[in-house]
């Protein structure tokens, strides 16, 4: 009798362990964190300002809803230089704020490579100042959009490089030298992210 009870306890313990292991395996790697620096190439001028190539970075967190589909959210900063054609001054403007949307990552065969696609919104503002700090403007936060394509390369367990090309569009109004000016930030960005899944 004791042997049967002991055996039942062992079977129950093993079944519980198997259930816990399978549950843990299913919930593993649901989250990811990504740090993505990049170069930004404006596709249009911003108001009267001839925009130059810029740079920036983003920190993005994602959660898998399904094996290949995730939601993401993050914060980023992008900086550009420019020359105002009317005021004959040099400007620096920063786009900072939040991004969120959906991403798809699907394996390419059995290789370590996957393709990725993202689409979502940005909720950012643009701060503008000239080199002498006499003109400062802030557009306030507003919505824009972005879309991206890239590749995910898993070079180690749960670690990936993610080269990505992205298009972003944000249009905000700001007062520059007492004139209401529409600032359009439309640019193509290329960056390589480092992602950790957990």
Question: Is 57 a domain residue?
Answer: yes
Which one has a higher pLDDT value, 179 or 195?
195
Using one digit for the tens of pLDDT, what is the confidence trace for 141-170? 999 999 999 999 999 999 999 999 999 999
For the chain, where are the E strands, in sequence order?
A: 31-42, 49-51, 54-66, 69-84, 89-107, 113-130, 136-138, 142-156, 159-176, 179-197
The CATH number of the domain holding residue 155 is 2.40.160.20
Whether 92 is in a domain gets the answer yes
Q: What is the dihedral of CA 173, 174, 179, 182, to 10 degrees?
A: -30
With CA atoms as reference, report the closest residue to 38 among 158, 192, 198, 150: 192
Percentage of the chain lying above the pLDDT 70 cut: 82
Domain-embedded: residue 137: yes
**Model pLDDT for residues 9-38, shown as the tens digit of each residue:** 656 656 565 544 444 444 457 999 999 999
Give the global pTM: 0.79
Contact 42, 80 (CB under 8 A): yes
Which stretches within the chain are classed as H helix?
2-27
Give dist(CA 1, CA 162) in Å, integer: 60
The pLDDT of residue 149 is 98
Q: Which residue has the tokens 């042997």?
A: 3
In a domain, 63, yes or no: yes
Does 20 reside within a domain?
Answer: no
Alpha carbon distance 43, 46 (integer Å): 10
Query: Cα(82)–Cα(180) distance, rounded to whole angstroms?
Result: 18
Residue-level pLDDT at 24: 44
Domain presence at residue 64: yes
Domain that holds residue 171: 30-197
53 contacts 41 by C-beta, under 8 angstroms: yes
Instruction: Kindly state whether residue 13 falls inside one of the protein's structural domains.
Output: no
Cβ neighbours of residue 7 closer than 8 Å, sequence gap 6 or more:
none
């Amino acid at each position: 009798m004791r042997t049967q009870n002991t055996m039942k306890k062992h079977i129950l313990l093993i079944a519980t362990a198997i259930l816990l292991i399978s549950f843990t395996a299913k919930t593993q790697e649901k989250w990811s964190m990504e740090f993505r620096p990049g170069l930004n190439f404006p596709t249009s001028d911003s108001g009267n300002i001839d925009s130059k190539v810029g740079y920036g970075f983003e920190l993005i967190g994602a959660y898998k809803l399904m094996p290949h589909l995730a939601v993401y959210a993050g914060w980023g900063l992008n900086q550009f230089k420019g020359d105002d054609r009317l005021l004959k001054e040099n400007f620096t403007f920063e786009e900072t704020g939040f991004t969120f949307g959906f991403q798809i990552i699907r394996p390419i065969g059995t290789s370590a490579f996957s393709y990725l696609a993202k689409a979502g919104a940005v909720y950012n503002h643009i701060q503008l100042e000239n080199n002498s700090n006499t003109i400062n403007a802030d557009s306030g936060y507003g919505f824009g959009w972005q879309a991206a394509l890239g590749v995910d390369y898993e070079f180690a367990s749960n670690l990936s490089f993610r080269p990505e090309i992205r298009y972003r569009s944000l249009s905000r109004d700001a007062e520059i030298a007492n004139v209401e000016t529409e600032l359009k930030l439309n640019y193509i960005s290329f960056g390589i992210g480092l992602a950790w899944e957990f």
